[in-house]
Amino acid sequence: MAHWSLPSVTRLRAGWRRSPLHGAVLGIASVALATVAVALACTAIAFVVTTIY
Amino acid sequence: MLFRPDRRDFSLIGFYTGKVLFGVGVAMLIPAVMAVALGERNELYAFLLSAGLAISVGRATELLLYTRESLSTSHGLATVALSWLLAPIFAALPLLLSGHYASYLDAYFESMSGFATIGLTLANDLDHMARSVNLWRHLMQFIGGQGIVVVVLTILASAGGRIGYLYTGEGREEKILPNVIRTSRFIWRVALIYSLIGTTLLWIAVIGAGLQPLTALYHGANLFMAAFDTGGFATQSSSVAFYRSVYVEAVLLPLMTAGAFSFALHYQLWLGRRSELVYNIETRTIATSTLVMFAILAVGLARTGTFTEPGVMMRQGFFQVVSAHTTTGLATVPGRLYVTDWGVLAPAVLVTAMAFGGMAGSTAGGIKAMRIGLILKGVIRDVRKVLLPEDAIVVTTFHSSTRKMLTENQLRAAATVLLLWLVLYFGGGLIGLFYGYELQLSLFESTAAASSGGLSVGLVRPALEWPLKVVYIAQMMIGRLEFIAVFALLGYLLAIVRGRV
């Protein structure tokens, strides 16, 4: 009789890392992170400029 | 040695161009299906007629000029340029038949603007355009953004490894994976995954802006194609301002950024190499120039008193800078305000941002961050050479996937292309001056057309003089193909004129 058990976290993680979606999520998250970083720096610039003028 | 093309060369170019026309005809069946679904009967007939014509001409050309010979570099380049010249002829037909364009030239302009992902439009009454026609405008951007010839030939899978020459001809310099087929498959994977996620997020944001779910899906899909392919067309005449939604703008910002990232960089990021964001010469150049340009724009806007609240300045100014820098062309303010309310400094920043453009090997246009970065490195190296003792050896490196040494050849190539870009921008600007437009307006519009920036101060309109429309069409095509493919086609045409055939 076949034995069935819940897949372990390690196996799930390994499977996720092998899936093509893993790269996509990493890539998209990196682009979003870069945009947010530049946007935050620009917000600081906007604050400084409006304070001066 | 004289360049003497023979009948076989022209057959080869014609054969592959025929395949591209056939592919463009097949692509027109997508909006035709939408016309059926929405009951837009007149538009359906227009699409079927145009698709039938493109498919027939393409197939007939293929059969007449059938060849089994391989493409060489010059064939590939000339094929790309000829395809980009001929594809809009057929793509313009459904636009003309929609009744939203004053002339065939206007419809051709719109098609070239779509394929070359420019975003300048000559449509009349855009807000009441049939949805299938509007979808076709956006679909042209998607096809053009990925590379019209590569898209068609990879789908038809008929050119095999030989599409390498076509790939380079469309301004894609870098092979990401060992061969072009795998590279174009990766490009497709990136585009499709982004389209799934981007369209979903935009769909939700547009529903939040108050549109019905089905209408929002249509807007979301079109907005995605306009943003990720750095195209800049919009479904409404007021562009992104139509939605009055900070959420829509917030989703569009990373999508435009992703469009301006090279597919080589996407590949590195998809492998989990996030350090590439910090060390890559192009991300560094773009991040620095965005910050500097936003700072100058903020000073310009604050001095004229246009925006005094930091939040408003950030929302309006940052969106416009990113849209210009990524050469997308989506706008949250009417273009005319750039000259009436934004003073002199802020519009000058937008022109500069469009001129700089995105990354090499992305869907964005312009000079490209790689060339700007290399030239700046070259200048710093020369300054160091002057300051250091004469026998000192100065080695300059840059990071792009791996660390590379900066060579004289790379610098010379970057400087030559930079010079060509400047000639293209100022050449169009001078012709605008000839027609009596102010320098600020004519340079803005010329740069928008050549760089694929697509922001407009209102000069591009149906009433624009026809020679200027022709000039802008030429600028769009030359800019998108980055000169060399157009030069190759001119070489073949000159050979015919001089009788060297």
Average pLDDT over residues A6-14: 81
Would you call B291 and A34 a contact, using CB atoms and an 8 Å cutoff?
no
Instruction: Quote the CA–CA distance of B86 and B66 in Å, as a whole number.
Output: 19
* Amino acid identity at B370: M
pLDDT at B149: 66
A12: closest CA of chain B, how far (Å): 18
**DSSP 3-state of B363:** coil
Chain B residue whose CA is closest to A42: B291
* Residue that has been written with the tokens 């719109």 in this structure: B110
At residue B196's C-alpha, the angle toward residues B190 and B200, to 5°, is 140
Cα–Cα distance, B265 to B28 (Å, whole number): 32
pLDDT value at position A1? 55
Distance, CA of B434 to chain centre? 27
Interface test with A, best of B193, B256, B262 (most A CBs within 10 A): B193
Q: Which residue in chain A is spatially nearest to B191 when comparing CA positions?
A: A24
pLDDT band at A7 (very low <50, low <70, confident <90, very high): confident
Nearest to A30 among B277, B290, B294 (CB): B277
Q: Please report where in the chains the tokens 């970065």 appear, as a residue.
A: B373
B310/A33 Cβ within 8 A: no
CB distance from A14 to chain B under 8 Å?
no
How close B51 gets to chain A, by Cα (Å)?
35
Give 10-residue mean pLDDT values along chain B (501 residues).
76 90 95 96 96 96 86 83 94 96 96 94 94 96 80 56 58 63 80 92 96 96 94 93 95 95 89 90 95 95 88 92 95 90 93 94 90 94 91 89 90 93 96 94 96 92 95 95 88 83 65
Q: In the structure encoding, which two tokens stand for residue B462, read together?
A: 């149906």
User: In the numeric block, which tokens belong to residue B78?
Assistant: 């000339």
Buried b (16+ CB within 10 A) or exposed e, B373-410: bbbbbbeeeeeeeeeeeeeeeeebebbbbeeeebeeeb
Residues of B in contact with A46 (CB under 8 A): 294, 298, 310-311, 313-314, 317-318
Torsion of CA B213, B218, B224, B225, to 10 degrees: 170
Phi first, then psi: give them for residue B421, nearest 5 degrees.
Answer: -60, -45
The answer to whether A27 contacts chain B (CB < 8 Å) is yes
Q: Which class for B175: exposed (0-12), middle (13-18), buried (19 or more C-beta within 10 A)?
A: middle
Partner A contacted by B362 (CB < 8 A): no
Decide if A12 touches B, using CB distance below 8 A: no
pLDDT at B146: 80
CB–CB of A53 and B303 under 8 A?
yes
Burial of B448 (0-12, 13-18, 19+ CB in 10 A): buried
Residue B309 has a pLDDT of 87
Instruction: Spell out which residues of chain B touch residue A38, defining contact as CB-CB under 8 Å.
Output: 287, 290-291
Whether residues B257 and A47 touch (CB distance < 8 A) is answered with: no
- Of A23, A35, A39, which has the smallest distance from its Cβ to B271's Cβ? A23
Cβ of B300 under 8 Å from any chain A Cβ? no
pLDDT at B164: 59
The helix (run of H) or strand (run of E) holding residue B3 is: none
Distance CA B170, CA B173 (A): 9
The answer, for B290 touching chain A at a CB cutoff of 8 Å, is yes
The pLDDT assigned to B401 comes to 83
What are the residue ranges spanned by the domains of chain B? 1-172+468-501
- Helices and strands counted in chain A (H then E): 2, 0
**Whole-angstrom Cα distance, residue B368 to residue B376?**
13
pTM: 0.92
